[in-house]
Structure 1
Amino acid sequence: MNSGTPVFDKSAQVRNLVLATWTSTICFWAWNMIGPMSTTYADRLDLSSSQASMLVATPILVGSLGRIVTGPLTDRYGGRVLFIFVALASIIPVLAVGFSAEADSYVMLLVSGFVLGVAGTVFAIGIPFAKSWYESSRHGFATGVFGAGMVGTALSAFFTPRFVRWFGLVPTHVIIAVALAVTAGLCVVLMKDSPEFTANSEPVVPKLVAAAKLGVTWEMSFLYAIVFGGFVAFSNYLPTYIKTIYDFSAVDAGTRTAAFALAAVIARPIGGSLSDRIPPKWVVLASLAGTGVLAVVAAFQPPPDFWSAVTFIALAIFLGIGTGGVFAWVARRSPAKSVGSVTGIVAAAGGLGGYFPPLIMGATYDEADNNYTVGLLLLALTAAAALAYTAFKLSSHEPEAVTAQQKS
């Protein structure tokens, strides 16, 4: 790394951060193509609650585990190459999901959803890419803005059911595939790696092992699994939840899910920016406290449409602030040469945190009383445990990345 504070071309900073955020947005849309349509597929294929949950959760699992690979590969090859690769690699799975759904094949949908997970790996690319383009005092801002690319889940929730109604099932997936191709082309022409980026040519496996030995990796993984995992889980499963509990149509459920995702997206850069000004610990504590309380409130099934909306949008805001706070903490504490590897593991943990809740919600759904009380109370208990751990075990003034690197 260069000595002293790096000087960046402001226009290049903005251009590359915007491009990275847009690429994340369209990839998140692709990653979430199944969730908004899950209730439709469940009706067409006569799926049980557990089968529908598995359909929603499968892309989350693969997208999460894949981040363990794309993180360290970003350290080696730079974000530009990986952004282009993920955008192009997501095209065929998106098309496969559309054709599988048109064929009314549950097995083909599961397989296509499995491969679709590649789109979700984009997150582990963008965090080190965005961080490398900004001075250390603005890392929270940069990673928070990039993280706002998860607005793609909101766009998918809102537009995917409408596109299917307007254009048809397969044409909708063709539209997203074309958007992915155009995005890859923009990255080829306009995106550049930061002048501060230095390729790390060390083998991937030893880098992952080294990152796994850092305490920060597992501490942040635990927290991110709750805040980002909660966001991913609700963004994907909320259409099913809303239709089941409140009997809204797929389009109306998608609209309400989009509002949830948008609130979290807006809150994320706020959490990142706050963490540039105050210790990230306090931002994360506020997030966990709010998440736990609102999960309990949601368990009482507030009536539609005002009080249920207030409950879930407030929950989204607390989760969004937490995601920004955790990754600002990651950027502050990770060794410079291992930020991609640490990011990959932490991002994978966040995605995995979103994999299990839909399965739990489906498995614990009380059909007789039509409620998800058990699943929501488990979220509240998990948030409470994380709150206690963060409050009593983690310091407000964490060692800088250089110190952490020396200890590793």
Structure 2
Amino acid sequence: MTTTAARPVTPDLRAGLGQVILATLASTVGFWAWMVIAPLQNIYATEMGLDQGQISIMLATPILVGALGRVVVGALTDRFGGRKMFTGVLLTAVPAVLLVALAGTIKSYPLLVAAGFILGVAGTIFAVGIPFSSPWFPATRRGLATGIFGMGMIGTAVSAFVTPRLVGAIGYLPTHLLIAGVMVAMAALVWFTMKESPAWSSSSQPLFPKVKGALKLAVTWEMAFLYAIVFGGFVAFSTYLPKYLTTIYPDQVDPVGAGTRTALFAAAAVIARPIGGVLADRFGPKVISLISLAGIVAAAYIVGQQPPEGVLTGVTFLLMAAAMGLGMGAVFAWIGPSTPPDKVGAVSGVVAAAGGLGGFFPPLVMGATYNEETNSYALGLWLLVLVGAGALVVAGMLRDARATR
């Protein structure tokens, strides 16, 4: 009688693409809610009489909370899975959208900031999708998986393009009620149709030791620094670009036009993100990260020269967005092969938090460094050039990571 060694069971991952697309749709709705204040900032500034500092705080508050919350949400996803966490994040953020509606209706700036604080919960949705999406694809294609999920950032473009037009078409309050309704519907779709990858297993490790363990890994800090530049820059410009354009080019760009340009900026980054993941799978994430950072530095330098509004300005912002998108895809493709499987969620949460924090400070810096006499944000843009150049040097010193084929 002969015995044969049992072959390891290979998980059936054929449903992976559909599940990751579902996660991407959930992320899109979450990002739309997270960025719902920014496209209407001119309305709030006019009706509430806000100055540059108040506008910056209003825009930055949801980003800060969304960033810090990702650390906890990423670790919780390792334990409870994407289905429960996507549903929970979407439903928890619904009251925040309704509070924003109330604040705008009664013209209360303190309530608007408080609502923005709670609204930050919607921004944590990104930390759910990375540990959910990665197990649905083999190691050699996880750059693609995280890149596809990362396209959920298109929610920022949806917010910039659709929200002002909805307000003009159906009114301020109905617009926010509609967004809240979409969030509830998306949460229901996730709850009834999403499922975890067969390759995923729940981690029973307590939350704080898991986060602490992630913080002990060098790759966590390395990727956090790089992601703070590429994703932080994207969030900052997606938030502040309408204000920047209407301030620097007041005669050429109106609020609706600024929203359209911001939507195109976000779309360029969204399209480039999965491309960055695929290229990182093929050529290594280090090379793609270096290309990304070099592009950001070059584009920021050109914008800092404050060229006349037109083709050059538009192309420069699109190239900057594309460079940021490539970098986002590359950084998360770097995490997978460099991180123990049971810590991917925690590391992703910390890195995603760093990216959000990277988007928190620039709007404050831009508001603080604005030169009213020359109508210029040049100093803030020069800081981006310097930080990007520093990141370029750091990335060049890191060891590359390639998935085992």
Smaller-chain TM-score range?
over 0.9
Q: For the Cα contact (< 8 Å) 2:13–2:136, is it kept in 1? A: no
Out of 321, 336, 343, the position equivalent to 2:341 is: 336
1:145 equivalent among 148, 160, 164: 148
| Residues 118-169 of structure 1 deviation map (CA, whole Å, 9 limit, x = unaligned) | 0000000100100011111110000000000000000100011111111111
Q: Distance in 2 between matches of 1:329 and 1:5?
A: 27
* Aligned counterpart in structure 2 of residue 288 of structure 1, from 270, 290, 293: 293
Q: What's 1:181 paired with?
A: 184
Greater mean alpha carbon deviation, residues 381-390 or residues 12-21: 12-21
Contact 1:6 1:135 in 2 (8 A): no
2:67·2:354 contact (CA, 8 Å) conserved in 1? yes
Candidates 2, 11, 16, aligned match of 1:13: 16
Q: Does the CA-based 8 Å contact 1:5-1:135 persist in structure 2? A: no
Matched, 1:170 2:155: no
Determine the structure 2 residue equivalent to 1:352. Answer: 357
- Measured in 2, the distance between the counterparts of 1:148 and 1:270 equals 10
Specify the alignment match of 1:242 in structure 2.
245
Q: CA deviation at 1:175?
A: 0.7
User: Does 1:33 find its partner at 2:36?
Assistant: yes
Pairing of 1:314-325 with structure 2 (within 5 A): 314-325=319-330
Question: By how many angstroms is 1:60 displaced?
Answer: 0.2
Partner of 2:161: 158
- What amino acid is aligned across from residue 156 of structure 1 in structure 2? S
Deviates more, 1:42-51 or 1:283-292: 42-51
Asked if the contact 2:285/2:402 (under 8 Å) is kept, the reply is no
Equivalent position SS for 1:90: helix
SS of the residue corresponding to residue 351 of structure 1 reads helix
1:273 to 260, 278, 282: 278
1:399, CA displacement in angstroms?
A: 9.2
SS of 2:57 mapped into structure 1: helix
Shift of 1:5: 8.5
Provide the rounded CA distance (Å) in 1 between the counterparts of 2:306 and 2:105: 34
The share of aligned pairs that are identical, in percent, is 51
Please state if 1:298 is matched with 2:298.
no
CA distance in 2 between partners of 1:151 and 1:135 (Å)? 25
Measured against aligned partners, the alpha-carbon deviations of 1:215-271 in whole angstroms (never above 9, x if no partner) come to: 000000000000000000000110100111111221111000000000000000000
* Residue 267 of structure 2 is aligned to residue 262 of structure 1: yes
Shift of 1:18: 1.1
Alpha-carbon shift at residue 14 of structure 1 (Å): 2.1
Q: Which amino acid aligns with 1:100?
A: A
TM-score, length-scaled by structure 1: 0.95
Letter in 1 for 2:400: S
Cα distance in 2 for partners of 1:339, 1:333 equals 9
Asked if the contact 2:338/2:401 (under 8 Å) is kept, the reply is no
Aligned residues: 397
Shift of 1:9: 4.1
Residue 304 (structure 1) shift = 1.6
> Structure 1: any 5+ residue segments left out of the alignment?
401-408
Candidates 60, 83, 94, aligned match of 1:57: 60
1:192 is aligned to 195
Residue matched to 1:132: 135
Give me the whole-angstrom Cα distance separating, in 2, the residues matched to 1:369 and 1:303: 14
Aligned CA-pair RMSD: 1.4
User: Is 1:394 aligned with 2:392?
Assistant: no
Q: In structure 2, how many angstroms separate the alpha carbons of the residues matched to 1:9 and 1:311?
A: 40
Letter in 2 for 1:8: D
Pick the aligned partner of 1:214 from 192, 196, 217.
217
In structure 2, runs of 5+ residues without a counterpart are: 1-6
TM-score by length of 2: 0.96
SS of equivalent to 1:16:
helix
What is the CA-CA distance between 1:117 and the residue it aligns to?
0.2
Q: Which of 113, 132, 138 matches 2:116?
A: 113
Structure 1 pair 375–272 and aligned structure 2 pair: CA distance change class (3 A): same
Name the aligned partner's letter for residue 300 of structure 2: A
Q: Does 1:361 align with 2:366?
A: yes
